[in-house]
Chains A and B, each alone.
Chain A
């Protein structure tokens, strides 16, 4: 399967970093690209929701939430028992792998659009839903570590955690844009020349920076060992398999199956780290970000998505 043009920009950014060539994007621009992608994906999903929303969507949403809560439960024992990680670190990394990566989803969506493979257009709703349950499960798994705090401290910490879970930039913008698109319906088409036509170009720029960021942490893999790299490859394959199976149960189209497999395979590196830094300050944030950003994100973009697409198109349709 041919390499997609947006993926090529990820490779360009990664190669530049490996060659120590100075491609550096201003921090403000990177932030702006993130905001653009979140709003564009949310709006697109909202418009589709206004058009296709029905009662089966509720049942599908509940299954998706359960899926997001289930993934960390598989990841946690592997990290703790086989990897020998502490309970806090294992719970934190498990939460990252239960949640999703917007960038990985955007790449999968761009590839499906480019190959004209149809998918359920309200999928951004599932992305927003999948962001949250894994964080809650991660905190439950790590609960033994937080029991020592007093009741007052616990309440204050819980408020901060809930704020981070429900009002982090990713969830807020994605859900907000989804609601705006759903409420405005056809009116949102006025915004689409900006958020629709520029989507692939912005994603290419974003991936250029992501390639650089991912490779800039490569040396940390030496510090954390090969186990975390192996986990960063095996867990996406397992998550993708679970996602594809669930998509088949929910009667999704081929494109929908590829997207749910991609969501199951992806790991968060923006929303969950922010929540975990508040909820589990003792967890090693660098370890989980290295695993999700340096191993799992490149794996999904370069190997995973073409693989899930090929397997779905050849065996499940």
Chain B
């Protein structure tokens, strides 16, 4: 996931949200677009958080694995 795809996702969320609110303000069906904006935001945020957590977890596991043992400290 690169930066340009993040910008595209943010633009898509903003577009659907603004369009939805505008439609609601003129008494047209806008809730669908607002719901879509919320789902896209949740997906974008959720998918960016999940690998980050996985990276943290793997870093922790690696640091535990590489932690000096008693034997190392003695040496």
Q: In the complex, which residues of chain A have a beta carbon less than 8 angstroms from the beta carbon of B39?
A: 229
Contacts of B29 in A (CB 8 A): 1, 306-307, 310
Q: Which residues of B are in contact with A by a Cβ distance under 8 Å?
A: 1-2, 4-5, 7-9, 11-13, 15-16, 19, 23, 26, 28-29, 32-33, 35-36, 39-40, 43-44, 47-48, 50
Task: Beyond A226-B40, A226-B48, A307-B29, list 12 extra A-B contacts (CB 8 Å).
Answer: A78-B8, A225-B47, A226-B43, A227-B1, A227-B9, A229-B39, A230-B8, A231-B12, A234-B11, A303-B33, A307-B33, A310-B23
Hey, which chain A residues are within 8 Å of B23, CB to CB?
307, 310
Quote the shortest CB–CB distance from A225 to chain B (angstroms). Answer: 6
A204 touches B (CB below 8 Å): no
Closest to B4 in A: A82
| Shortest CB distance A2–B (Å) | 10
- Would you give the 0/1 interface string for A129-157, flagging 1 where the beta carbon is closer than 8 Å to chain B? 00000000000000000000000000000
State whether the Cβ of A314 lies closer than 8 Å to any Cβ in chain B: yes
Q: Are A221 and B43 in contact (CB under 8 A)?
A: yes
Residue of B nearest to A227 (CB): B5
Q: How far is the CA of A227 from the CA of B5 in the complex (A)?
A: 6
Grouping DSSP codes into helix (H, G, I), strand (E, B) and loop, the A interface class, with mixed when no group exceeds half, is: helix
In the A-B complex, list the 4 residue pairs whose CB atoms are closest, starting with the nearest: A303-B32, A230-B12, A226-B44, A227-B5
A299 contacts the other chain (Cβ, under 8 Å)? yes
B5 touches A84 (CB 8 A): yes
Which of A81, A230, A234: most chain B Cβ within 10 A?
A230
Contact flags (1/0) for A93-111 with B, using CB distance below 8 Å? 0000000000000000000
> Are A84 and B2 neighbours in the complex by a CB distance under 8 Å?
yes
* A227–B36 touching, CB < 8 Å: no
A225→B47 CA distance, assembly (Å): 7
Docked CA distance A230–B14 (Å) = 11
Instruction: Provide the A187-216 mask, 1 if CB < 8 A to any CB of B, else 0.
Output: 000000000000000000000000000000
- Please, which residues of chain A bring their CB within 8 A of the CB of B43? 221, 226, 229
A302 within 8 A of B: yes
A46 to chain B, nearest CB (A): 34
* Interface residues as binary, A215-251 with B (CB distance below 8 Å gives 1, 0 otherwise): 0000001100111011101100100000000000000
